[in-house]
């Protein structure tokens, strides 16, 4: 990533006029100086950001937060109500499914149409057509009207055009969620290659693991404004905090809220939860610290102390082992054995142990204190993100991936007898 700016917005905003009934729109048009017959809805307001060339920016937020509006303003398909946006280079965008395609045209004709809209000459499109068709992999449907395409075929062709013309800026709005697993793999490989070559990518997704794995930075939008911007791991947790808060408020009729809490590891972690309990301590048992290092195969034992309100009927603890980008490697959910009540509170301690059968590198441990029986059905009490960290040192074992499963070759009895015969 270089320091050259690809996109810059200043106080960017988009306001829509909402009319209560259709005739009000006509009256407003005929009598513009009369009574105002609409209310203003700001889909986006006061957004200022800078995106550098080669940067991969993830944009997250709930539905209606302004993500698609921001992308449309950057692409120029929607006119801003306030502020301005400046971009440098050719922009290709995958916004609404099938946008930019004429449904009556064949796939081939739409390739030429989209290439022309992106500023390519016919000779340039012809030179890249075979690559586009091969990437899309829709076979003979390339010469059929796109109105006959499935959603997966549409996104295949649209994505193929966008990446094969090698734009300076590529904007993707949830398009990859439509494709199958093999196509998604091919898309991500191509995006990775293009960003290494200096292409700028704006990427909207509700898949936090995709954002954390693929983006350099994340922008969190809420109610049309920037809630925060920073490392994808931190922005994903802020987003989850707000989602958890909304869930708990709804389930408790507003009585219980999820709010930021004190992190046990303030240098690297963050925490949020309710007032129903807390994780009071967490450390590696062998060192009593929040950071340690282990050789491959060593036993890692973690000591965790909690304090839980008497109102919590089924307290449990979730431990997730995460790699450097906080993508989950493994985890466990265990019931907490609580002690006697003292002043409306009970304490519970637990030790969890596992072997460091991991590839060399940095790992984090996130803890969640919950009320329920399973991870999926429990209600959050407290989450301590990346509260512990450890490094595994390189060992003499060789395996693929992150976790060493101790996969062995098993020799059958027939193979053994054949080997004996050969030796004799």
pLDDT band at 189 (very low <50, low <70, confident <90, very high): confident
Domain presence at residue 240: no
Residue 336, CA distances (Å) to 73, 307, 344, 347, 381 in order: 50, 11, 17, 9, 13
Q: Is the pLDDT of residue 178 over 60?
A: no
Q: Is the pLDDT of residue 25 over 60?
A: yes
**Helix runs in 85-231, H state only:** 107-117, 122-136, 151-164, 181-196, 208-214
pLDDT band at 173 (very low <50, low <70, confident <90, very high): confident
Mean pLDDT of the chain: 89
Give the per-residue pLDDT at 281. Answer: 97
Residue-wise pLDDT tens digits, 210-233: 888 888 999 999 999 999 999 999
Q: Give the separation between CA 135 and CA 137, rounded to whole angstroms.
A: 5
Residue-wise pLDDT tens digits, 50-93: 999 989 999 999 988 999 999 999 988 899 999 999 999 888 88
> Which of 347-370 are b and which e, b meaning 16 or more Cβ less than 10 Å from the residue's Cβ?
ebebebeeebbbbeeebbbbbbbb
Angle between helices 151-164 and 107-117 (to 10 degrees): 40
The model's pTM is 0.80
Domain presence at residue 402: no
Residue-wise pLDDT tens digits, 124-161: 999 999 999 998 888 899 999 999 998 888 888 888 88
Average pLDDT over residues 350-377: 92
Domain presence at residue 140: yes
Residue 40, CA distances (Å) to 20, 34, 35, 44, 211 in order: 12, 16, 14, 12, 32
18 & 79 share domain: yes
111 & 14 share domain: yes
Give the per-residue pLDDT at 419. Answer: 65
Pull the structure tokens for residue 125. Answer: 């499109």
197 & 306 share domain: no
Residue 161, CA distances (Å) to 109, 147, 207 in order: 12, 17, 24
Looking up residue 197, the CATH number of its domain turns out to be 3.40.50.300
Domain presence at residue 414: no
95 & 149 share domain: yes
323: containing domain: 258-393
Give the per-residue pLDDT at 37. Answer: 84
What is the count of structural domains for the chain?
2
Closest CA to 89 of 154, 171, 29, 146: 171
Closest CA to 237 of 352, 368, 51, 378: 368
């Amino acid at each position: 990533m270089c320091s050259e700016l690809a996109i810059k917005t200043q106080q960017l905003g988009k306001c829509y006029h909402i009319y209560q009934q259709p005739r009000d729109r006509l009256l407003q048009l005929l009598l513009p100086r009369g009574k105002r017959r609409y209310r203003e809805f700001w889909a986006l307001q006061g957004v200022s950001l800078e995106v550098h060339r080669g940067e991969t920016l993830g944009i997250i937020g709930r539905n209606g937060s302004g993500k698609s509006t921001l992308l449309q303003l950057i692409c120029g398909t929607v006119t801003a109500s306030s502020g301005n946006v400046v971009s440098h280079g050719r922009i290709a965008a995958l916004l609404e499914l099938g946008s930019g395609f004429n449904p009556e045209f064949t796939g081939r004709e739409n390739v030429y149409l989209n290439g022309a809209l992106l500023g390519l000459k016919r000779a340039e499109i012809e030179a890249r057509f075979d690559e586009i068709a091969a990437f899309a992999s829709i076979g003979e449907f390339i010469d059929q009207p796109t109105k006959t395409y499935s959603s997966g075929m549409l996104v295949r062709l649209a994505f193929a055009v966008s990446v094969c013309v090698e734009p300076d800026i590529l904007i993707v709005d949830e398009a990859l969620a439509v494709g199958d697993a093999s196509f998604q793999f091919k898309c991500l490989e191509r995006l990775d290659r293009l960003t290494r070559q200096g292409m700028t990518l704006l990427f909207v997704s509700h898949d936090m693991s995709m954002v954390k794995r693929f983006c350099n930075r994340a922008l969190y939008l809420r109610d049309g404004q920037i809630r925060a911007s920073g490392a994808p791991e931190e922005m994903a947790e802020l987003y989850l905090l707000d989602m958890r808060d909304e869930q708990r408020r709804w389930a408790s009729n507003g009585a219980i809220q999820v709010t930021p809490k004190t992190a046990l590891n303030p240098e690297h972690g963050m925490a949020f939860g309710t007032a129903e309990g807390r994780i009071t301590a967490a450390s590696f048992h062998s060192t009593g610290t929040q950071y340690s290092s282990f050789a491959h195969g060593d036993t890692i034992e973690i000591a965790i102390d909690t304090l839980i309100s008497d109102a919590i009927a089924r307290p449990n603890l979730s431990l997730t082992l995460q790699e450097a980008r906080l993508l989950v490697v493994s985890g466990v959910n265990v019931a907490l054995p609580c002690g006697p009540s003292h002043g409306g509170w009970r304490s519970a301690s637990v030790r969890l142990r596992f072997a460091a059968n991991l590839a060399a590198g940095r790992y984090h441990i996130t803890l969640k204190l919950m009320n329920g029986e399973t991870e999926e059905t429990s209600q959050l009490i407290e989450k301590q993100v990346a509260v512990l960290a450890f490094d595994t040192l390189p060992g003499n074992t060789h395996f693929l991936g992150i976790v060493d499963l101790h996969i062995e070759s098993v020799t059958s009895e027939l193979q053994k007898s054949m080997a004996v015969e050969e030796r004799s």
